């Protein structure tokens, strides 16, 4: 399936049906009175977060979505039927913005969440509504109200706990294959990964987290070079970034420290909040380095990179060092979740919303 993380659609809710002017005509009833019913409500346009979808490709081929209009009112006190609603299924993590103003309208963050993106118009009043003691034969009616019409931009940001970033061929796809159920394409040339891949990492019973593998970044990605800049948005909702570095490049002339610094600079240029996220260093492909040289190589890299955070030495191909990595990641994610879901402690001595200072 083609991965599409951006689409534009036009949605139109149904117009309300018009009210009816009608009078009762029955034998032996000289003054039947009004009996024109109201028009029906126009159909709404809903959006639902479907956890089985992971792309917006369906909306690339069907841009316009119109709900049914309400039925007009009729005589004999008959009100018009409401128009049929339509429901658009979207992936979890979809952001819905107004294409004209750029304002964010909705975010689908929970599976099964349903929102109304366009409301149908109310039906018009029939002359039955205007009957009174002094207006025995009203001829007033109102047309139906128009439904909402919107031009929307859909943007998908995948919901993952951990994001993998690094240069092309750093081993990100190999790692996600080794630790999760994802099976991305793997080859010995750059930019094998063309779209994000999500994998669920099982740490233990009822212990898991979601990891996202993105296309490799290169210097200048924030300005449009390579493919990674198209998918940096998917890292914005992660709780932790794993910066993977190829410690055994094909070309000995490649400066791995300069490449790692370039990745960090691209994050800073793209989004300061993304740059400030917790970021761990994962040194990969150490199975290709002689054991007696590994410690010195790692120490030299960390010193030149001027990095003071957690460092993990792994081989995604042989799975060496992967188990300690995923356990440490899960502990970090669990701690973050507890902080985010912890109830706010309110001092009973002060009213809510009042600063004690």
Strand, coil or helix: 75: coil
Angle of CA points 146, 152, 153, to nearest 5°: 180
Q: Binding site, residues?
A: 166-173, 191-195, 213-216, 284-287, 315-317
> How big is the chain, counted in residues?
357
Per-residue confidence (pLDDT) for residue 4, from 0 to 100: 54
Specify whether the CB–CB gap between 319 and 199 falls below 8 A.
no
**Which pLDDT value is given to residue 191?**
42
pLDDT at 187: 43
Q: Would you state the pLDDT for residue 199?
A: 75
Strands (E), 173-246: 197-204, 207-213, 240-246
C-alpha–C-alpha distance, residues 347 and 280, integer Å:
37
For the chain, counts of helices (H) and of strands (E): 6, 14
**Residue of 61, 79, 203 lying closest to 144 (CA atoms):** 79
**Binding-site annotation: residue ranges for Mg(2+):** 173, 193
Task: Please report the pLDDT score of residue 264 as a whole number.
Answer: 84
Q: What is the reported pLDDT for 341?
A: 67
Domain boundaries, the chain: 6-156, 162-341
What is the structure's pLDDT at 118? 93
What is d(CA 217, CA 213) in angstroms, rounded to the nearest whole number? 12
Q: Which of 270, 249, 243 minimizes the C-alpha distance to 166? A: 243
Q: List Cα–Cα distances, 47 to 82, 117, 118, 200, in angstroms.
A: 19, 7, 9, 26
Per the annotation, binding residues for GTP are 166-173, 191-195, 213-216, 284-287, 315-317
Do residues 43 and 81 touch, judged by C-beta distance below 8 A? no
Q: Are 177 and 49 in contact (CB under 8 A)?
A: no
The helix/strand/coil state of 12 is strand
Q: Which fold has domain 6-156?
A: Spo0b-associated Gtp-binding Protein; Chain: A, (2.70.210)
Distance between CA atoms of 183 and 197, rounded to whole angstroms? 8
Write out pLDDT tens, residues 45-58.
Answer: 999 998 777 678 78
Q: What is the pLDDT of residue 176?
A: 83
Half-sphere exposure of 33 (CA within 13 A, CB side): 12
pLDDT score recorded for residue 339: 76
- Give, for all 357 residues of the chain, the pLDDT tens digit: 344 578 899 999 999 999 999 988 877 777 778 889 999 999 999 999 987 776 787 888 888 999 999 999 998 889 999 999 999 998 888 889 999 888 889 988 888 899 999 999 999 999 988 998 888 889 899 999 999 999 999 988 776 788 888 887 778 888 888 887 656 544 443 444 445 677 778 887 767 778 877 765 545 444 444 444 455 666 777 888 888 888 888 777 788 888 888 888 877 877 788 888 888 998 988 888 888 888 898 899 889 988 888 899 888 888 888 899 989 988 988 888 777 666 666 666 666 555 555
Query: What's the rounded Cα separation, in Å, for the pair 110 and 71?
Result: 35
The pair of structure tokens assigned to 286 is 């150490």
Domain spanning 162-341: CATH 3.90.1520.10: no
């Amino acid at each position: 399936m083609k991965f599409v993380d951006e689409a534009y659609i036009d949605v139109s809710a149904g117009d309300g049906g018009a009210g009816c002017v009608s009078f009762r005509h029955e034998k032996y009833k000289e003054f039947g009175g009004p009996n024109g019913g109201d028009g029906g409500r126009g159909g709404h346009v809903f959006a639902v977060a479907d956890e089985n979808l992971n792309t917006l490709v369906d909306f690339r081929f069907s841009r316009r979505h119109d709900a049914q209009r309400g039925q007009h009112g009729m005589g004999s006190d008959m009100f018009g039927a409401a128009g049929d609603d339509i429901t658009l299924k979207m992936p979890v993590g979809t952001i819905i913005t107004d294409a004209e103003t750029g304002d964010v309208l909705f975010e689908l963050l929970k599976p099964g969440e349903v929102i109304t993106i366009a409301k149908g118009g109310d039906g018009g009043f029939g002359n039955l509504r205007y009957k009174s003691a002094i207006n025995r034969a009203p001829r007033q009616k109102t047309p139906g109200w128009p439904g909402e019409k919107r031009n929307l931009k859909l943007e998908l940001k995948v919901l993952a706990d951990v994001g993998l970033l690094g240069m092309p061929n750093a081993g990100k796809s190999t790692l996600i294959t080794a630790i999760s159920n994802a099976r991305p394409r793997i080859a010995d040339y750059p930019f094998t990964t063309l779209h994000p891949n999500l994998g669920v990492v099982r740490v233990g019973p009822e212990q898991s987290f979601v990891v996202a593998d993105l296309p490799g970044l290169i210097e200048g990605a924030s300005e449009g070079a390579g493919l990674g800049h198209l998918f940096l948005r998917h890292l914005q909702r992660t709780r932790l970034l794993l910066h993977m570095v190829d410690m055994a490049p094909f070309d000995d002339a490649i400066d791995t420290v300069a490449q790692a610094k370039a990745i960090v600079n691209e994050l800073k240029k793209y989004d300061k909040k993304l740059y400030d996220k917790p970021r761990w260093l994962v040194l990969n492909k150490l199975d290709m380095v002689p054991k007696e040289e590994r410690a010195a190589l790692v120490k030299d890299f960390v010193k030149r990179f001027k990095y003071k955070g957690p460092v993990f030495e792994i081989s995604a191909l042989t799975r060496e060092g992967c188990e300690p990595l995923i356990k440490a990641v899960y502990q970090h994610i669990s701690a973050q979740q507890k902080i985010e879901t912890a109830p706010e402690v309110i001092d009973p001595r002060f009213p809510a919303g009042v600063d004690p200072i």
